[in-house]
Structure 1
Amino acid sequence: MRQLLVALCGVALVGGVAAGVARLLPAGEDPAMARVYVARSLVTLKNGNWSAARRNAQQAIASDPDWGLAHAVLARAFLALGDGVGAEAELDRARAAGFDANRAHQLYAHAWLLQGDPARAIAEAGKTPARYGAYAMRVAARALAAQGQVADAQDALRQVLAVDPRNSFAWGDLARVRFSAGDVRAAGDAAARAVAIDPANLEAQTLRGELVRSQYGLVAALPWFEAVLQRDAFYHPALIEYAATLGDAGRYADMLDATRRALAARPGSAQAYYLQAVMAARAGRNELARGLLARTAGQIDGLPGALLLGGTLDYAAGGYEQAIGKWRELVGRQPMNVTARRLLGAALLRSGDARGALDVLRPVALRADADSYTLTLVARAFERTGERDWAARFLDRAAMPQAGGSTPFGAEDSLPVLQSVAAASPGDPVAALGYVRGLVDKGDRTGAVSAAKSLAARMPGAPAAWAALGDTLAAGGRFAEAAGAYRRAADLRFDEAIMLRLVDASDRAGDRAGAANTLALYLSQNPQSIAALRLSAHWMIAAGQWSEAIERLEGLRARIGDRDATLLAELAAAYGGDGDDAVAVRYARAANDLAPMNPGTADAYGWALYGAGKPAAAAEILQKAVAIAPVPALRWHLAQAYADAGAKAAARAQIALAMADPRFGDRAAAKAVLAAL
């Protein structure tokens, strides 16, 4: 600010002679105007228009290329915008032009941190004089967090705030560190403090948008990013987060506009090209997506999203080895990523490595809620290894409806090892969660619930802790209590996984209204969620809302294609309920052709034939469904087909078997049919 005042005063003093001096300077050089532009740069930097600060500093340098302070101010603008490479280059120019090197240590440290070199940043920050000590300690704290030393990073930032409690950027850094550690509530509190102190802190404002997106959903987050962009329309980090949020919300035209603005703000932006590649891939334009991803020039190759997308594009183009390499790296980084394991397993099987596929798919296939595609992949892998008995078992499971609920991944280490790791790192939520999973694996549900409650009490702001508690309670059948834990998790992070858990637990606890409200709220914020749309369509069918279910399911079919047997079966049910039996039969036949040994698709096909007035043909198909899965709902369908086909004795037998099962709900209708037989 002192430099700003000097510059402003200097402008007034030299204004009268500027024109005469300008005639003696090379074309374009004007030291007086350089001071004006530096003053403007400092003002716009303070007011939160950091892109304007950069432009003003660049104009100052154009007016006086040899003024070291102008280069240093431009470096400061680059740092605010997250451009470490540009900042380092300008700092070098500032020093060459005579800028005091002792005033630049904290700035160099910040630049190297942005370039991904935290060790060098910490070393350079240590050389900073006391005058800039708070800035240097902030940089060092962020570098420590980048190295995984989260507790030390928070301690360093608390020291800064103890001296200067109104340091907005220190509060923003603390919020970011807490968010990366999973403590969403504490991160939100710190970010709110940062913004309240300085509304022009764009970093903190952008983080608040990210936190709102995590806690409440995509739509709720958009105004926060828009508020940042009202201050600085070309603030690259906010543009990237805004574009990603728009894309996930299905607003692709707006997403494209935001990525173009990001490229204008930072030419060659790898993040912007990546988001455009995602958009192209979603539209089925794989070659365009590959070209856009190539423009990232390897800058984001190690990010999970880039690995997933790059592998998908390689696989689609027949580059199985390249896809395997990317997905193997992704699974190594995210061992609980079910999608990545499924993709890697499929690629390994396609490349001839059946044993490798089995190793990758094993943790998913052993889950009670394993999907039919994964189970089929495992069965094919066993066929390749000659173990046809195991192949048959997994094919049988693939043909059956899901029999179990969702559970966490198992722990690979022994329980004593997990316990010792958790005890040695009491502040590490990952270690604590590993111990809870170990207790669940060993069948110690009481111990698991106790450990999960302890974790939630120690880390009440961490959604993972409450989700773990909900999982352990649900595993013991305590669904009402589990729903309460999931609700606490959803208050902190309302993502798809938490939503599905909360809906399921609420429904199983008898709170269908609460489950429906949760699903509706999630869809209002995440209108493109396939899982939520499918679940809502299923409930529409159960409620007899046929036309609404058809509209929703047809929208899903347009997005995911015609190879999803369950989706086609639900479409058959919806069209049949709406009275369009011919279309219902076509969809049901297609579903049965895709999964001929699945009792659900067989039942859908048989029931569609029954609705079309073909009870004898329906009974033939429904017999197969009941043979595969003799559950009361399928027996009841078969009984009605038998009754209309004239097979009264067989109908009575199926109704008796259905009514003997306490799970059967259509007792009144079954009694009426019995009375008429």
Structure 2
Amino acid sequence: MIFKLKSVGLALAGLALGAVGLVAVARQSTAHADPATARQSLALSLTLFNQGNATAARSHALKAVSQDPSWGLAHAVLARTYLALGEGQAAEGELRRARDSGFDMGRAHQLSAEAWLLQGDTKRALAEAEKTDPRYRLYGLRIAARALAAQGKLPQAQRVLAKVLRATNGNDGLAWTDLGRVRQQSSDIGGAITAADRALAIDRGNVDALVLRGELVRSQFGLIAALPWFETALKVDPWRHDALIQYAATLGDAGRYSAMLEMTRRALAARPGSPQALYLQAVMAARADNDDLARSLLQRTNGALAGQPGALLLGGLLDYRAGAYQQAIDQWRWLLSVQPMNLEARRLLGAALLKSGDSRGALDIVRAIAVRGDADSYVLGLAGQAFEQSNERDWAARLLDRAAIPARDDAKPFGSDTPIADAAGALDRRPDDPIAAVTYIRGLIDDGQAASALAEAQRLARLFPGAPQGHLLVGDTLMMMKRFDAAASAYARAANLRFDEATMLRSVEALDRAGDREKAATVLALFLSQNPQNIVARRLTGHWQIASGEWDAAITTLEGLRAQLGNRDAALLAELGLAYAGADDVDSARLYAAAGYRLAPLNPATTDAFGWALFQAGEDKAALELMRKAVSIAPRHAGLRWHIAQVEAELGDKLAARADIARALADPRFPNRAEARALLATLGA
């Protein structure tokens, strides 16, 4: 029987062509072998592999091996399917069986190289790739490029892949996929998108390219937009482990937990004991406050994810909740050694150090973010407590006062710990190194050298137009120079490549400062539509809904957050009080505002909200007392001045009301200018 087999890459095509000869001369049939049926199973395996369904191809290759255990080619093809599924150890085992069955291993160096690469042995992978038979040279080059990338030699990897693409006139979809991955590692998101699109133009059933495109779309547009890419990949290969993991993670971040659980179970069926699937289930259990289950699931990964950021963050959180502060500290310190700009890890480590009694250590960790103008109240409170425990009460008082103030300064990029002279020297030595450029530019921004920072940031953006970081730095520098329109444009270019939380917040702030609140709201709404569980975006949405008088919408947004975060968030309760007051639900307004005030009686935002709720209930004198307290804590806050002016006007104190309205109007960012002027007009001269 003759089988018409399509090409499956250079190596696999070569294996298929040698099938008949190997059956005849390279082995002796075992007593129970069924060569004819084995050939049918192997032919079906190759067809399915061509179609992108490596999982089904593996199943039929397994049948071929069981039907003719001494057929070396069947073992080699089975190894190739294992490689496509990322299972290097299993592939290595099958290659040994192929060799023992008489298969010519001179034709399989590229397969052995990939097996070693998947097991993390990049040196051995490179050595094996060097031995690749000329017939499969391009396959070997692809594996060599991936090994170089795994060693961090990204420019070299790209040059090797460029050689493959030149040799194939740009028609190697697997090489384009590999190039997309390398560009993604290099932060060249635009280049990665182009490479993934080229790969899919060649083969729409390229599952690895579909998964890569899904990952890129997730960062480029958002969670919801990414889901169809993973779904398409799973239509090609319903049991592809990597696709299932990415799909499950995206579903979980989007709040679709039932679907996430189903996908993790499928991933465990596809790869029993999958550490990634167990980790995702642990995350889901931790979100549901089932820490015992989360810890059990994490332990079942048997250390396979040791040192990875997600596992370190989750493991530390579980230890922290259990009171095992030193264990949490150890994990979060390791995480910060890998990701020093991970602000969440800094907050958590600072809290753990403070809990363990190491106030000086806590200060060392959070100082860099506590001294920033845009530090949040949690970090400021944390630093204030640390100073207090260290008997540095002057610093403690300053930071605790700032923690109680509702308004923060503009957001700034996380600074650089490298002295600017050292950063400049590093850039002189490596002028095309984007990491050195970023460090130097951040140093210039911290040093207030706006013009130099802008010139360097623009140079970086020109050199690496597909990297979001360059455009973000241009925007950050323009924000420092108060060129808000231009900054918004720079952030928009970054958002076209990576529309994450940080980029969204920068874009919204720049547009708002440029006076385009409508467009800023559109950007926020777009982000939230794609990332419906994002807490920061939901908080900001609720805040803006209150500011624009959309009371019912604000209540829906904030109640959703309360259901998720609980009843211990004073700022959230205060805003709920304001929203219910605006909707004329006075009883609910008083309930929430009073609860927020009890949690944070020195916070002017909670104090003002409680006073405003009392004002709406007709208790004007009690309201005025609370609002005076709020204004005394934050005298420059225009919103507080506007609230107290309305109470003063109601009580007939026109002089005080006019003075407070004037102070509110003096702030160019005060949003209620028309209402304030209208009230001022009624108060007379």
Tell me the TM-score normalised to structure 1 length. 0.95
Could you tell me which of 667, 678, 684 is aligned with 1:669?
678
Distance 2:359 2:118 in 1: 42
Deviations 1:6-46 (A, max 9, x none): 658999x9xxxxxxx99x934xx422212221121111111
CA contact (8 A) 1:370 1:402 kept: no
Q: Which amino acid aligns with 2:116?
A: W
Q: Secondary structure of 1:528's match?
A: coil
Could you tell me which of 196, 218, 231 is aligned with 1:226?
231
* Residue of structure 2 equivalent to 1:114: 118
Could you tell me which of 454, 457, 470 is aligned with 1:452?
457
Q: Secondary structure of 1:145's match?
A: helix
2:648 is equivalent to residue 642 of structure 1: yes
Q: Which amino acid aligns with 2:484?
A: F
* Residue of structure 2 equivalent to 1:620: 625
Q: Which amino acid aligns with 1:670?
A: L
Q: Which amino acid aligns with 1:61?
A: V
CA contact (8 A) 2:145 2:161 kept: yes
2:34 is equivalent to residue 25 of structure 1: no
2:74 is equivalent to residue 70 of structure 1: yes
* Residue of structure 1 equivalent to 2:257: 252
Could you tell me which of 525, 528, 534 is aligned with 2:530?
525
Deviations 1:452-496 (A, max 9, x none): 111111111111110111111111111100000000000111111
Q: Which amino acid aligns with 1:566?
A: A
Q: Secondary structure of 2:243's match?
A: helix
Distance 1:657 1:345 in 2: 38
Q: Secondary structure of 1:48's match?
A: coil
Count of paired positions: 665
Distance 1:6 1:108, change over 3 A: closer
Distance 2:669 2:512 in 1: 16
Could you tell me which of 58, 73, 79 is aligned with 2:62?
58
CA contact (8 A) 2:642 2:676 kept: no
Distance 2:379 2:431 in 1: 36
* Residue of structure 1 equivalent to 2:547: 542
What stretches of structure 1 of length at least 5 have no aligned partner?
Answer: 14-20
Distance 2:144 2:668 in 1: 64
Matches within 5 A, 1:567-578: 567-578=572-583
* Residue of structure 1 equivalent to 2:513: 508
* Residue of structure 1 equivalent to 2:9: none
* Residue of structure 1 equivalent to 2:614: 609
Q: Secondary structure of 1:298's match?
A: coil
Q: Secondary structure of 2:331's match?
A: helix
Could you tell me which of 67, 88, 91 is aligned with 1:87?
91
Distance 1:386 1:656, change over 3 A: same
Could you tell me which of 305, 314, 318 is aligned with 2:319?
314
What stretches of structure 2 of length at least 5 have no aligned partner?
Answer: 1-12
* Residue of structure 2 equivalent to 1:280: 285
Distance 1:135 1:403 in 2: 55
Task: For residue 102 of structure 1, report the CA deviation from its aligned partner.
Answer: 1.6
Task: For residue 238 of structure 1, report the CA deviation from its aligned partner.
Answer: 0.7
Deviations 1:333-374 (A, max 9, x none): 111111000000000111111111111111111111101111
Q: Which amino acid aligns with 2:67?
A: S
2:189 is equivalent to residue 189 of structure 1: no
Q: Secondary structure of 2:408's match?
A: coil
CA contact (8 A) 2:478 2:486 kept: yes
* Residue of structure 2 equivalent to 1:358: 363
Distance 1:233 1:659 in 2: 61
Deviations 1:290-335 (A, max 9, x none): 1111111110121111111111111111111111111111111111
* Residue of structure 2 equivalent to 1:389: 394
Could you tell me which of 122, 141, 146 is aligned with 2:145?
141
Deviations 1:515-536 (A, max 9, x none): 1221121122111111111111
Task: For residue 657 of structure 1, report the CA deviation from its aligned partner.
Answer: 5.1
Q: Which amino acid aligns with 1:231?
A: V
* Residue of structure 2 equivalent to 1:331: 336
Distance 2:607 2:660 in 1: 17
2:490 is equivalent to residue 481 of structure 1: no
Distance 1:577 1:206 in 2: 46
Q: Which amino acid aligns with 1:485?
A: A
Q: Which amino acid aligns with 1:475?
A: M
* Residue of structure 1 equivalent to 2:183: 178
Q: Which amino acid aligns with 2:386?
A: A
How big is the alpha-carbon RMSD for the aligned residues of Structure 1 and Structure 2? 2.0
Q: Which amino acid aligns with 1:117?
A: D
* Residue of structure 1 equivalent to 2:309: 304
